[in-house]
């Protein structure tokens, strides 16, 4: 059976037509996981029993012609989402024994929509990383090429969908953690507007930047997933109560008249020529589809990384204080006193990159440095955000590369945190500004996928998905899958 080559939308049809059952579908993926994941290490926890029980319930509903929009469809959750009764590690030794006592809202919603969770995906510890080399549970391998990274921090989710271990997966994106692995793994992935998807039960990295979204092979599947995830949550004060439109209804609208802005700053120093070429080619496709291309400028784009690497660690340093070995999580053996309990539990529980960011964050917030670093970063953040608002006066969508390079080799950047941070060059601005952004495949460089990034104004996910879907109607990059995985 080659059902894993079908999209989520196609699988939904097959389930409804009873050409396949949810139990069969889930079992098929569980078999693939069993057979293939040892190569990729994309998953931390697989719960086959629980998945099959849920699939059986879905089949009963489907048999009666009932069931929700995503009834019986399998998925994988990034291990950053709390799952009631299931190990939730956030990729950290700190939580290697943490069975969450509640579901994240995202988990709850997708379950209410009928989806069946197969497994929980590996990730960079506490979502800090761009290569998935920062997981306590080991590196994740990019299914496109052994020895290369899948991107991060949602590298496990991306690798799993790329290897067709599930049709879709959830991820989170604080500075590019959905879009960059989507680009590296040849997938479609969307980071919605800040506030569009609830953050409740999603372990916080940087609260004002974090946003959950789906990975899929197509924009249409992303639309179906986002429909299930989005919406107001009274448990999250930053969640928006703006109504959620249909993300699938408008997908078929043409791009005639669409105004696409291309920022000069996205094609400056640091951009790999092969990536630039693939993106240029995509621009040509959009022109053919009736869109007009307009050069624009985001003058403060160059300050995105500096601002981000103040704001994100500052928030993280505070968010991660609750991991103190008192109420949950790792506690060191035989603490002699309270200070020893704190210091050793946290030293043992956190990995190097997490420690670095906690220290940077604590430093930039501390007395005497707050104005020069943290406050300054918030001001720069405003300038960056204003640049986008100015641009959206003239254009509907902003287009550029998702990452400066395709997936790199493992170990390439582990010794140089700053080189690693520059991976997020094009992605962090959307987080700083709270804008929705998406990455879709637009070609290959040396056999590795290249990602195209699209950004729209706040709450314009429908437009973003439509533009991506239309592009996928005239190109076939999104249909490519790594070879040798049958």
Partner 1 sequence: MAWETVIGLEIHAQLSTKTKIFSGASTAFGAEPNTQACAVDLGLPGVLPVVNAEVVRLAVRFALATNSSITERSQFARKNYFYPDLPKGYQISQMALPIVGPGEMTIFDGEDRQKTIRITRAHLEEDAGKSVHDLFSDQTGIDLNRAGTPLLEIVSEPDLNSAVEAVAYAKKMHALVRYIDICDGNMQEGSFRCDANVSIREKGSDVLGTRSEIKNLNSFRFLERAIDFEVERQIDVLEGGGEVVQETRLYDADRDETRSMRSKEEAFDYRYFPDPDLPPLLVEQSFIEQVRANMPELPTVRTQRFVTDYELSEADAVTLTSERPTADYFEATLAAQHITPRLAATWVMGEVFSRLNNDGLSLEQSPVNAEALAGLLIRIQDNTISGKIAKSVLDTMWESGEPADKIIAAKGLQQITDTGAIEAMIDEVIANNPEQLAEYRAGKDKLISYFIGAVMKASKGKANPGELNKLLKPKLDG
Partner 2 sequence: MALKEQDIKDIAHLARLGVDDSALAPLAADLSTVLSLVEQMNSVNTEGVEPMAHPGNAVLRLREDTVSEPNQREKLQQAAPATEDGYFLVPRVIE
Among partner 1, partner 2, none, the one that 322 touches (CB under a kind-dependent 5 to 8 A) is partner 1
Note the Cα 98 to chain centre separation in Å: 22
Residue with tokens 């918030």: 378
Instruction: Decide if 22 is catalytic.
Output: no
Size of the site for partner 2 (CB under 8 A): 74
CB contact at 8 A, 72 and 114: yes
| Residues 404 and 271 sit within 8 Å (Cβ to Cβ) | yes
Which of the ranges 163-171, 276-284, 377-385, 394-402 carries the binding residues for partner 2, by CB under 8 A?
377-385
Annotation says 177 is catalytic = yes
Closer residue to partner 2 in complex, CB, 20/341: 341
Residue 78 annotated in active site: yes
- 237 in contact with partner 2 (CB under 8 A): yes
Query: From partner 1, partner 2, none, which one binds at residue 199 (CB under 5 to 8 Å depending on kind)?
Result: partner 1
* Closer residue to partner 2 in complex, CB, 176/329: 329
- Which of 433, 453, 470, 472: binder of partner 2 (CB under 8 A)? 433
Q: Which stretch binds partner 2 (CB under 8 A): 11-19, 93-101, 172-180, 220-228?
A: 93-101
Greatest CA separation found in the chain? 70
63 interface partner picked from partner 2, partner 1, none, CB below 5 to 8 A per type: none
Smallest gap, in angstroms, from Cβ of residue 195 to partner 2?
6
Binding site partner of 225, from partner 1, partner 2, none, Cβ cut-off 5-8 A by kind = none
Q: From the CB of 194, what's the least distance to partner 2, in Å? A: 4
Binding partner 2 (rule: CB under 8 A), the pick from 91, 434, 436, 449 is 434
**CB within 8 Å of 452: residues ≥ 6 apart:** 278, 279, 282, 399, 400, 401, 402, 439, 440, 441, 442, 471
Q: CB burial class (10 A; 0-12, 13-18, 19+) of residue 176?
A: buried
What is the phi/psi pair of residue 398, to 5°? -110, 135
303 binds, among partner 2, partner 1, none (CB under 5 to 8 A by kind): partner 2
- Applying CB under 8 A, does 268 fall inside the site for partner 2? no
DSSP characters over 223-241: HHHHHHHBS--TT-TT---
Spatial contact of 37 and 120, defined as CB atoms under 8 Å apart: no
Question: Across the beta sheet with 259-263, what order do the strands follow?
Answer: 43-46, 116-121, 74-78, 169-173, 211-216, 188-191, 437-445, 448-455, 397-401, 259-263, 292-296
Q: Name which of 167 and 329 has its Cβ closer to partner 2.
A: 329
Q: What's the closest the beta carbon of residue 90 comes to partner 1, in angstroms?
A: 7
Of the pair 435, 468, the CB lying nearest partner 1 is at 435
358 binds, options partner 2, partner 1, none, Cβ within 5 to 8 A by partner type: partner 2
The residue to which tokens 């660690």 are assigned = 313
Closest approach, Cβ 177 to partner 1, in A, equals 16
Query: What whole-number distance in Å separates Cα of residue 112 and Cα of residue 198?
Result: 15
Q: Catalytic residue numbers?
A: 78, 153, 177
């Amino acid at each position: 059976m080659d059902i894993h080559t079908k999209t989520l939308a196609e699988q939904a049809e097959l389930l409804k037509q009873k050409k396949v059952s949810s139990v069969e579908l889930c079992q098929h993926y569980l078999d693939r996981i069993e057979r293939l994941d040892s190569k990729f290490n994309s998953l931390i926890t697989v719960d086959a029993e629980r998945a099959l029980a849920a699939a059986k319930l879905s089949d009963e509903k489907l048999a009666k012609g009932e069931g929700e929009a995503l009834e019986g469809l399998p998925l994988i959750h990034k291990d950053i989402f709390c799952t009631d009764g299931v190990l939730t590690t956030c990729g950290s030794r700190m939580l290697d024994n943490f069975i969450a006592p509640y579901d994240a809202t995202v988990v709850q919603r997708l379950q209410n929509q009928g989806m069946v969770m197969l497994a929980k995906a590996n990730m960079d510890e506490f979502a800090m990383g761009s290569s998935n080399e920062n997981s306590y549970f080991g590196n994740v391998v990019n299914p496109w090429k052994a020895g290369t990274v899948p991107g991060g921090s949602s590298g496990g989710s991306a690798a799993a969908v790329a290897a067709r271990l599930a049709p879709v997966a959830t991820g989170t994106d604080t500075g590019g953690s959905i879009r960059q692995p989507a680009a590296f793994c040849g997938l479609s992935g969307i980071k919605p507007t800040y506030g569009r998807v609830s953050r409740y039960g999603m372990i916080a990295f940087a609260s004002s930047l974090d946003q959950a979204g789906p990975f899929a092979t197509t924009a249409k599947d992303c639309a179906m997933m986002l429909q299930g995830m989005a919406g107001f949550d009274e448990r999250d004060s930053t969640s928006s109560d703006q109504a959620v439109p249909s993300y699938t209804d408008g997908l078929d609208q043409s791009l005639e008249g669409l105004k696409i802005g291309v920022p000069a700053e996205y094609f400056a120093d640091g951009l790999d020529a092969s990536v630039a070429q693939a993106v240029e080619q995509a621009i040509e496709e959009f022109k053919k589809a009736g869109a007009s291309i307009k050069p624009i400028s985001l003058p403060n784009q160059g300050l995105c990384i500096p601002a981000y690497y103040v704001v994100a660690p500052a928030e993280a340093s505070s968010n991660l204080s609750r991991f103190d070995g008192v109420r949950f999580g790792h506690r060191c053996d035989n603490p002699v006193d309270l200070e020893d309990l704190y210091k050793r539990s946290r030293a043992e529980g956190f990995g190097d990159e997490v420690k670095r960011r906690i220290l940077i964050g604590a430093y930039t917030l501390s007395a005497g440095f707050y104005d020069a670093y943290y406050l300054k970063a918030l001001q720069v953040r405003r300038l960056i955000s204003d640049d986008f608002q100015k641009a959206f006066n003239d254009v509907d969508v902003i287009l550029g590369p998702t990452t400066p390079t395709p997936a790199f080799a493992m170990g390439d950047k582990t010794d140089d945190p700053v080189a690693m941070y520059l991976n997020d060059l094009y992605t962090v601005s959307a987080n700083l500004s709270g804008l929705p952004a998406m990455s879709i495949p637009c070609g290959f460089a040396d056999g590795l996928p290249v990602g195209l990034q699209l950004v729209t104004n706040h709450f314009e996910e429908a437009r973003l998905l439509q533009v991506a879907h239309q592009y996928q109607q005239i190109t076939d990059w999104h249909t490519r899958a790594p070879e040798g995985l049958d």
